[in-house]
Amino acid sequence: SQQGEEDPQALSIQEGENATMNCSYKTSINNLQWYRQNSGRGLVHLILIRSNEREKHSGRLRVTLDTSKKSSSLLITASRAADTASYFCATDRGSGNTPLVFGKGTRLSVIA
């Protein structure tokens, strides 16, 4: 089952611009994670934000979480062509033996 929606479904920007992707979910969570997937490949973990956190940074990534609205956003600053990929949010209700539930994803294209 899928947890929720992500928007936009596809985003095309110029290199150097910022990219913002949003994710909404439906149930209570322990944490929310963002993953990146290059075409036809496995997933790479980007960042995790816990339910009691509101904002987190990692390099050019900034994630926010609003549990009252059940939504999260991922901001990639100063985008590069190499950032072109699909980005998925995934919600986690447990703490180790429960599956992640993925959103529909945003396909990001960064044009050089």
> Nearest distance from residue 97's CB to another protein, in Å?
5
| Residue 92, CA distances (Å) to 21, 29, 82 in order | 19, 6, 28
> Nearest distance from residue 94's CB to another protein, in Å?
9
| Residue 2, CA distances (Å) to 19, 27, 45, 52 in order | 23, 11, 18, 23
Residue numbers at the binding site for another protein (CB under 8 A): 1-2, 30-31, 33, 35, 40-43, 45, 48, 88, 90, 92, 95-97, 99-105, 107
Q: Which CB atom, from 26 or from 41, has the smaller least distance to another protein?
A: 41
> Nearest distance from residue 78's CB to another protein, in Å?
25
φ, ψ for residue 62 (rounded to 5)? -135, 125
User: Which residue, among 60, 54, 53, has the nearest Cα to 87 in the 3D structure?
Assistant: 60
Q: Which helix (H) or strand (E) holds 58?
A: strand 55-58
> Nearest distance from residue 96's CB to another protein, in Å?
5
Q: Which CB atom, from 103 or from 108, has the smaller least distance to another protein?
A: 103
Six token digits for residue 26: 């439906």
Q: Which CB atom, from 39 or from 68, has the smaller least distance to another protein?
A: 39
Q: Which CB atom, from 15 or from 73, has the smaller least distance to another protein?
A: 73
